[in-house]
Amino acid sequence: MKQIIHGADGTPGSMRVEEGARPQAGPGEILIEVAFAGINRPDVLQRSGRYPPPPGASPILGLEVAGTVAALGAGVTEWKVSQRVTALVPGGGYAEYCTAPASHALPVPEGLDLAQAAALPETWFTVWANLVDLGRLRPGERLLVHGGSSGIGLTAIQLARHLGVECFVTVGSEEKARFCRDFGAHHAIHYREADFAQQVKDFTGGAGVDVVLDMVGAPYLQKNLSVLRRDGRLVLIAFLEGSKGEFDLMPVMLKRLTITGSTMRPRSVAEKAAIRDALLKHIWPEITAGRLLPHIHAVFPLAQAGEAHKLMESSAHIGKIVLQVKS
């Protein structure tokens, strides 16, 4: 099969198509003939040597795919060969074939094409696990999302709308601010032109928000704590600007705050399966109904994976970037 590999220097320019062995579906797995693969920040980190795959995972980049079931591993009964699926995978997505635990796959929602389906798993698994399971986000609350125009950010906006939550986002341009507001955010703050913490306090009459979803890291920590109201929750999912820094812990005590966070890839098969089941029950019917849809910024052919990564690193995109594996 064709697959993407990258050189030891870890640059986008080192990515190229190469022939490799087709994987085999093990017990409890399905083999997927990949039509499209989503691109995510962890792919960029892995390529640059900062996010090694977990033991047993494919070294090939790619954490989400959409395509058709090509083969069933021993014990798999919930899927059929030729069925259209999208799946969260531990690695191997940038290739013509990829294996996935059967319990991490979902049917392609009716009305969506395979490119759209490939843009679903990583963001929805991440947002659901961190905002609903860890963040305990509830109807009527307020949510602040940093990186509102990213794939994660737009998914969080949609979840907020679905739950009846007032949603604030930070973005890096007025164009992105307008897009996020049109997409369903109640307030979009251009962080290069205004202090987001002060803006949140102004919008809420000083009350603040209940949950912050942060992917920036240490530079935002103190301000994140300052905008949380009593019993607020700060959920960390990435550290794009660093994980180390000093901060005053007093707000945590005075406001009974919770600081938590997680990564998706190291979770157990059972943990991810539980998230899959929750999405299938609560989110997939909304996607099928056309109420929660991904926004795809660009689709690149497999051979241009390096260009796709350059776009991801530039942060110039809005929403998801997808690779077309099957031409």
Domain termination site, one of 261, 276, 291: 261
Structural domain boundaries enclosing 277: 2-120+265-324
The three-class DSSP label of residue 66 is strand
- Contact between 159 and 143 (Cβ < 8 Å): no
- Residues 92 and 15 grouped into a single domain: yes
Orientation angle between helical segments 151-163 and 174-183, nearest 10 degrees: 30
Q: What is the pTM of this model?
A: 0.97
What pLDDT shows up at residue 197?
98
- Residues 184 and 230 grouped into a single domain: yes
Rounded Cα distance between 29 and 100, Å, is 5
- Residues 116 and 131 grouped into a single domain: no
Provide mean pLDDT across the span 214-226: 97
Residue 168 pairs in a beta bridge with 144, 187
Q: Indicate which CATH number applies to the domain containing 292.
A: 3.90.180.10
Residue 170 pairs in a beta bridge with 146, 189
pLDDT more than 70, % of the chain: 100
- Residues 217 and 270 grouped into a single domain: no
- Residues 86 and 153 grouped into a single domain: no
Provide mean pLDDT across the span 210-234: 97
Check pLDDT > 90 for residue 327: no
- Residues 236 and 178 grouped into a single domain: yes
The H-assigned helical ranges of the chain are 41-47, 114-118, 121-127, 151-163, 174-183, 196-203, 221-227, 250-254, 269-282, 284-288, 305-314
- Residues 276 and 244 grouped into a single domain: no
Count of domains in the chain? 2
Please give the span between the terminal C-alpha atoms of the chain, in angstroms, as a whole number: 13
What is the tens place of the pLDDT at every residue in 237-273?
999 999 999 999 999 999 999 999 999 999 999 999 9
Q: Indicate which CATH number applies to the domain containing 135.
A: 3.40.50.720
Provide mean pLDDT across the span 105-118: 98
- Residues 250 and 134 grouped into a single domain: yes
Which of 122, 183, 191 lies closest to 157, judged by CA? 183
What is the tens place of the pLDDT at every residue in 304-323?
999 999 999 999 999 999 99
- Residues 144 and 246 grouped into a single domain: yes
φ and ψ at 4, to 5 degrees? Answer: -95, 130
- Contact between 46 and 263 (Cβ < 8 Å): no
- Contact between 32 and 122 (Cβ < 8 Å): no
- Residues 128 and 252 grouped into a single domain: yes
What is the tens place of the pLDDT at every residue in 286-305?
999 999 999 999 999 999 99
Domain termination site, one of 211, 239, 261: 261
- Residues 61 and 151 grouped into a single domain: no
pLDDT more than 90, % of the chain: 99
- Residues 116 and 137 grouped into a single domain: no
What is the tens place of the pLDDT at every residue in 167-190?
999 999 999 999 999 999 999 999
Domain termination site, one of 261, 295, 312: 261
Q: For all residues of the chain together, what is the average pLDDT?
A: 97
What is the tens place of the pLDDT at every residue in 75-102?
999 999 999 999 999 999 999 999 999 9
